[in-house]
């Protein structure tokens, strides 16, 4: 197999591969930076919880309206935002910490979704909801993915300064501005928005993967926030390309192949990363002048 | 016109008062130390002035010019593992000028460099904040206070766990703020420092025990009274015991 057949051919030959590529690159552009902030704010598992919280909303919409892109997006967004807002409100007004109340709400939300689906008891195609359909992106879905990615990048540009301040020193931001709370909420909103986008392409169970794995892998290569965001986005895009090719050549399901590739990038970073990767730590290095 | 006025101010959490019925004024340009035993309500009082908590009753009055308050909480809850540099942390002090999207121009850069030099951190600009020692971190936070250019500066135990040299340098900044007629209110534990630097002192223990010239406030009688106030058993509990 020539390099052309291995790398370029599948995309040149098949439109569905090109669509999948465009969709997953759009996804990586928005999800990468958000993943970095989630990781740095020690909220990596919050993304996971939110991804689960989306499922019942989307499943309910699917039951009521069939495979409607619009309604499933609205349903997922509504469920995700409701869980985020309720968890935040409970954390602020009671003795519960945010992670505890989030766990309570997403479990409730997940159980509700599964119950709804089983009460209807039909042979609905839950595989689409669970694992997405990156190889069957139509125009509308592609536009939605591109739109969400554009909104995310623009919103992050506006939010960047208060978001960094809210992450580093929330008390200070509170003392100079009232934007702390709204910034946090807008950030959670963007996370939900991107998870909904991810679930159209990769499914609810994998959507959080393209957000978190590149960010976590990037931590082994950079110290600086800007570099972290750039590297995470790059790893996301690289995993999309490599994962799609892997799925094409090996006949694997494409969503899981993309996430597996991103997982491979994490494993490689863990071993070879220049920022305290395992193997790099074994190399003898002289300490710097004081 | 007072810089800060307490109108029968009661502060606390969950309806339980910590400092109650505080009455008085801090004049503009005052250099006021707030002292008292642990649990006396010193930090709560600063939070109340900064607006971080709402009064249970009464109010805090701020002079119009003093609505710009810079507040350094106790061991500021900075996430030291977040990957930003000393320069970025200090620049946050310019928030009021730059806001969300405002650029940091040549003049701002000079101001940031000046503030960093004033706290003796020149050369550390590009260090990640995670690599700073406790004393260097406090210096960086003071540089951020400098940039805030506030009329009223609130410091909650700014010298705790700080070595003598750093403490002396930071106190020089406090004196400089005083010379610039800014109002400084600082919670402190070291009476030697209070006597040496702060002309006025407020001794609190749930309420104001004494307030005035430092020498008149830090008397053995007042300090004993403050300690009794904190250690005194709750009267309600005493009633209960007697009833049983």
Q: How far apart are CA B156 and CA B13, in angstroms?
A: 18
User: Is some CB atom of chain A closer than 8 A to the CB atom of B75?
Assistant: no
Q: How far apart are CA B15 and CA A167, in angstroms?
A: 30
Angle at B38 between CA B37 and CA B42, to 5 degrees: 85
Q: What are phi and psi of B100, to 5 degrees?
A: -65, -45
Would residue A68 count as lying in a domain? yes
- The pLDDT score that the predictor gives to residue A161 is 94
Cβ distance of B83 and A161 shorter than 8 Å: no
Flag whether pLDDT at A289 surpasses 80: no
Q: Which domain holds residue A87?
A: 3-282
Read off the pLDDT of each residue in B24-35 and give the average, rounded to a whole number.
Answer: 94
Would residue A118 count as lying in a domain? yes
- The pLDDT score that the predictor gives to residue A78 is 92
Q: What is the pLDDT of residues B94-128, one digit of tens each?
A: 988 888 888 888 899 999 999 999 999 999 999 99
What residues have CB less than 8 Å from A89, skipping those under 6 apart? none
Highest mean pLDDT among B15-19, B72-76, B172-176: B172-176
Question: How many domains in chain A?
Answer: 1
More confident residue, B179 or B236: B179
Average confidence score pLDDT of chain A: 88
Which residues of chain B neighbour A224 with C-beta distances below 8 Å?
Answer: 83, 85, 128
pLDDT band at A40, cuts 50/70/90? Answer: very high
Return the structure tokens found at A20.
Answer: 């999948």
Domain spanning B1-68+189-244: CATH superfamily = P-loop containing nucleotide triphosphate hydrolases (3.40.50.300)
- The pLDDT score that the predictor gives to residue B210 is 94
Read off the pLDDT of each residue in B131-159 and give the average, rounded to a whole number.
Answer: 93
List of long-range contacts for B199-203, beta carbons under 8 Å, 24+ apart: B199/B31, B200/B30, B200/B31, B200/B32, B200/B33, B201/B32, B201/B33, B201/B34, B201/B35, B202/B24, B202/B32, B202/B33, B202/B34, B202/B35, B203/B35, B203/B36
Query: ipTM of this predicted complex?
Result: 0.84
Would residue A170 count as lying in a domain? yes
| Per-domain residue ranges of chain B | 1-68+189-244
What residues have CB less than 8 Å from B162, skipping those under 6 apart? B134, B135, B138, B170
- The pLDDT score that the predictor gives to residue A122 is 56
The residue among B11, B69, B24 whose CA lies nearest residue B209 is B24
User: Is some CB atom of chain A closer than 8 A to the CB atom of B103?
Assistant: no
The DSSP code for A4 is: I
More confident residue, B230 or B112: B112
pLDDT band at B230, cuts 50/70/90? Answer: confident
Query: What ranges make up the beta strands (E) of chain B?
Result: 4-13, 16-26, 31-35, 57-62, 69-72, 152-156, 183-187, 200-205, 207-213
Read off the pLDDT of each residue in A135-157 and give the average, rounded to a whole number.
Answer: 93
Would residue A70 count as lying in a domain? yes
Flag whether pLDDT at B240 surpasses 60: no
Interface test with B, best of A171, A178, A186, A225 (most B CBs within 10 A): A171
Which residues of chain A neighbour B85 with C-beta distances below 8 Å?
Answer: 224
Give me the total of CB pairs closer than 8 Å, taking one residue from chain A and one from chain B: 64
B41, B156 Cβ separation under 8 angstroms: no
Would residue A290 count as lying in a domain? no
Interface test with B, best of A94, A176, A230 (most B CBs within 10 A): A176
Read off the pLDDT of each residue in A278-289 and give the average, rounded to a whole number.
Answer: 76
pLDDT band at A178, cuts 50/70/90? Answer: confident
Cβ distance of B100 and A158 shorter than 8 Å: yes
Would residue A288 count as lying in a domain? no
A28 half-sphere exposure, CB direction, 13 A CA radius = 24
- The pLDDT score that the predictor gives to residue B241 is 41
Flag whether pLDDT at B66 surpasses 90: no
Q: How far apart are CA B211 and CA B218, in angstroms?
A: 10
Under DSSP, is residue B2 helix (H, G, I), strand (E, B) or coil?
Answer: coil
Which residues of chain A neighbour B69 with C-beta distances below 8 Å?
Answer: 175
Would residue A289 count as lying in a domain? no
Read off the pLDDT of each residue in A180-191 and give the average, rounded to a whole number.
Answer: 91
pLDDT band at B238, cuts 50/70/90? Answer: very low
Nearest to A176 among B76, B96, B101 (CB): B96
Backbone torsion region of residue A104, taken as left when φ is above 0, otherwise alpha when ψ lies between -120 and 50, otherwise beta: alpha
Residue of A nearest to B95 (CA): A176
Instruction: Please provide the DSSP assignment of A40-89 as one string.
Output: HTT-HHHHHHHHHHHHHHHHHHHHHHSS-HHHHHHHHHHHHHHHHHHHHH
Nearest to B89 among A168, A171, A224 (CB): A168
Cβ distance of B95 and A225 shorter than 8 Å: no
Nearest to A171 among B77, B129, B148 (CB): B77
Would residue A30 count as lying in a domain? yes
Which residues of chain A neighbour B73 with C-beta distances below 8 Å?
Answer: 171
Q: How far apart are CA B199 and CA B214, in angstroms?
A: 6
Cβ distance of A167 and B69 shorter than 8 Å: no
Read off the pLDDT of each residue in A240-251 and give the average, rounded to a whole number.
Answer: 94
Neighbours of A94 (CB within 10 A): 10
User: Is some CB atom of chain A closer than 8 A to the CB atom of B131?
Assistant: no
Judged on CB neighbours under 10 Å (0-12, 13-18, 19+), A288 is exposed
């Amino acid at each position: 197999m020539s390099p052309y057949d291995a790398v370029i051919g599948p995309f040149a030959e098949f439109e569905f591969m090109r669509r999948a590529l465009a969709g997953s690159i759009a996804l990586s552009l928005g999800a990468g930076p958000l993943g970095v902030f989630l990781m740095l704010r020690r909220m990596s598992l919050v993304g996971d919880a939110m991804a689960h919280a989306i499922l019942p909303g989307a499943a309910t919409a699917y039951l009521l309206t069939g495979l409607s892109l619009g309604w499933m997006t609205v349903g997922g967004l509504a469920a995700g935002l409701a869980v985020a807002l309720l968890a935040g409100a409970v954390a602020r007004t009671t003795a519960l910490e945010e992670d505890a109340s989030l766990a309570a709400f997403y479990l409730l939300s997940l159980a509700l979704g599964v119950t709804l689906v089983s009460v209807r008891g039909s042979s609905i195609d839950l595989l689409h909801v669970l694992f997405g359909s990156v190889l069957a992106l139509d125009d509308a879905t592609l536009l939605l993915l591109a739109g969400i990615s554009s909104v995310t990048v623009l919103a992050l540009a506006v939010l960047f300064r208060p978001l960094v301040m809210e992450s580093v020193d929330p008390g200070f931001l509170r003392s100079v501005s009232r934007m702390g709370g709204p910034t946090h909420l807008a950030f959670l909103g963007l996370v939900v928005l991107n998870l909904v986008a991810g679930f159209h392409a990769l499914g609810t169970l994998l959507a959080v993967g393209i957000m978190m794995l590149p960010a976590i892998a990037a931590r082994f290569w950079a110290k600086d926030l800007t570099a972290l965001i750039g590297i995470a986005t790059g790893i996301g895009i690289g995993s999309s390309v490599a994962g799609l090719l892997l799925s094409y050549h090996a006949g694997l399901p494409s969503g899981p192949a993309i996430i597996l590739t991103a997982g491979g990038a994490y494993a490689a970073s863990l071993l070879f990363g220049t920022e305290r990767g395992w193997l790099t730590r074994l190399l003898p290095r002289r300490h710097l002048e004081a | 016109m007072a810089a800060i006025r307490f109108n029968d101010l009661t502060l606390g959490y969950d309806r339980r008062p910590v400092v109650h019925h505080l009455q008085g004024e801090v004049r503009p340009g005052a250099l006021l130390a707030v002292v008292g035993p642990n649990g006396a309500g010193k930090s709560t009082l600063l939070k109340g002035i900064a607006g971080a908590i709402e009064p249970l009753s009464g109010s805090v009055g701020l002079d119009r010019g003093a609505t710009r308050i810079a507040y350094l909480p106790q061991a500021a809850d900075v996430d030291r593992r977040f990957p930003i540099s000393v320069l970025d942390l200090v620049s946050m002090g310019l928030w009021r000028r730059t806001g969300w999207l405002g650029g940091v121009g040549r003049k701002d850069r000079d101001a940031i460099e000046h503030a960093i030099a004033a706290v003796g951190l020149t050369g550390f600009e590009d260090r990640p904040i995670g690599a700073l020692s406790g004393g260097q971190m406090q210096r960086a936070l003071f540089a951020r206070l400098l940039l805030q250019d506030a009329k009223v500066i609130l410091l909650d135990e700014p010298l705790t766990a700080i070595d003598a040299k750093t403490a002396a340098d930071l106190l020089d900044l406090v004196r400089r703020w005083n010379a610039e007629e800014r109002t400084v209110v600082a919670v402190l534990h070291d009476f030697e420092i209070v006597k040496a630097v702060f002309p006025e002192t407020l001794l609190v223990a749930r309420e104001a025990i004494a307030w005035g010239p430092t020498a008149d406030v830090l008397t053995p009688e007042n300090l004993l009274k403050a300690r009794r106030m904190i250690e005194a058993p709750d009267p309600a509990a005493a009633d209960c015991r007697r009833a049983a």
